[in-house]
Structure 1
Amino acid sequence: MASVHEIPDEGAFASTISSIPQSTLAVIYFHAPWAAPCKQMSTVLSALASTYSTDAPIAFLSLNAEELPEISEQYDVTAVPYIVLQKDGSVQETVSGSDAAKVRAAVERYAGAGNKSSLPPAQTVTKPAQQAAMNGAANGSGSLAPTAGDSSTAPEAGETSQEELFKRLGELVKAAPVMLFMKGTPSQPQCGFSRKTVGLLREKGIRYGFFNILADDEVRQGLKEFAEWPTFPQVWVNGELVGGLDIVTEEFENDPDFLREYSVNGQAAAA
């Protein structure tokens, strides 16, 4: 799956942009480490990128607007987060702010839903104890540390107010048309229910973004209250909670076409 690449300096940006084919959509994301909305948008873009395959004609680039002032000036960046969609050598659209649905709709408008990844990678069952040994000691709450390869897991968050957290969650659940909040990642689920949910979505050919709640306890605890749903995994569709494994399974049993618009050959609707 695709991921967001951090661009460290102007030279790296110039070489990266020059190496991207004209027909490839470059999603250029300007951020600042001190801005809370940027933290939110970073998570949203990582989840969105995970819905595209690595060979899709789209590239997600992340730049620190303050450390790269000449590039920021080149793209008229006056506030962050700020996203530039560039294709065929010209800017197609810009999006300012942290509205996940607006960003997702803009990206799909120029990248095309047909270029979405068919499915996240096939899962491999890894027991939590084994994963803890791979990642290092678990923290005090028993959550496992994320691996460097888990591109859409978020770093641990600092203290935030409930209002700020709920705003962040409200955008995060809309990061992709279908969002799965799970324990672990699709390739390494960390509980049986998450593993079965990943397997079910794969069996039905459903594209989805995902978030590893073990990587961010603030999201893990906050989403229980935000969703009024105390357990994981959780499946969200266009920003609305569907439920856990049992409800998703029941929905498919009652309606084989459930989520068909998100199937491999389908067209994902923008919120």
Structure 2
Amino acid sequence: MAMANFVEATSQQQFEEFLSRAGKNLTVVHFQAEWAPQCGQMNDVMAELAKERARTTFVRLEAESVPEVSEKYEISSVPTFLFFKAGEKVDRLDGAHAAELTKKVQRLAVSGSPEHGGAAGGADLNQRLKKLINAGPCMLFMKGSPQEPRCGFSRQIVALLKEHNIQFSSFDILSDEEVRQGLKTFSKWPTYPQLYVNGELVGGLDIVKELAASGELENTCPKAVTLEHRLKTIINQSPVMLFMKGNKEAARCGYSRQTLEILNETGLDYDTFDILQDEEVRQGLKTYSNWPTYPQLYVKGEMIGGLDIIKELKESGELVSVLKGES
């Protein structure tokens, strides 16, 4: 029987409606994939939990069918569980851990906040912040994304960086309350946006404006590399490069998963690049290679093709020699 608090969201709008309807009560969202058996098992666990907790909403969401939501919350594998209260994300669980899921639901449904074991929680957060700050040579912590800034200051700083041809990575602090609060303390800087270069805080909008006015901004931030140069560099990172959704450990679409299976059978070495983590590469490579879909396989800098071509090469027995760059 279908329970009123165990539901499926098939669009971003539906997902947002479930969140707003739950108000301050806990909402647990399971980012799943039909093809992953562990997701089915975790749905059974959620169905049991839903029976016990009538005030908690359990939402299933097919990660690939609602990419806007999956990409916003940086879902890189299935199953992943996000926990929301009052529309804000309060916790996350990666992987099929039934006991951990049950524990988190029990804790969050009652207390309303994730358990942070005192100093250990703080240490974990600091590690996470350091990783984020160093995720790119030039890192901007902002409200929203460069495509859709969600406050005037963020919009202005993005415009300044683009005007000066500065290549930067960004993190949306609205998507993560823990980072949003933690970074203020970590950097001793109470407002956003915040710009970091090589792991060091440069400052906020006023400081970036001053640097731009004095002509020092270009020297402070690394110069932009053209997209074509960046694509060539990534394509040539390894003799065999696969551009896919997800990574070797966790493919995020059926085509990518099938490609991994075929490549793994050859026993040859290859590297992967997750296009879901980098919108610029994802769009740019389609144009660069004249190939509109993913996965895409390159050998020694040359485009081989997608899954169909890889399947054909496997069937004709040519795949190994192509991967070795012999033919």
The structure number with the bigger radius of gyration is 2
Question: TM-score with structure 2 length normalisation?
Answer: 0.36
| TM-score for the superposition, normalised by structure 1 | 0.42
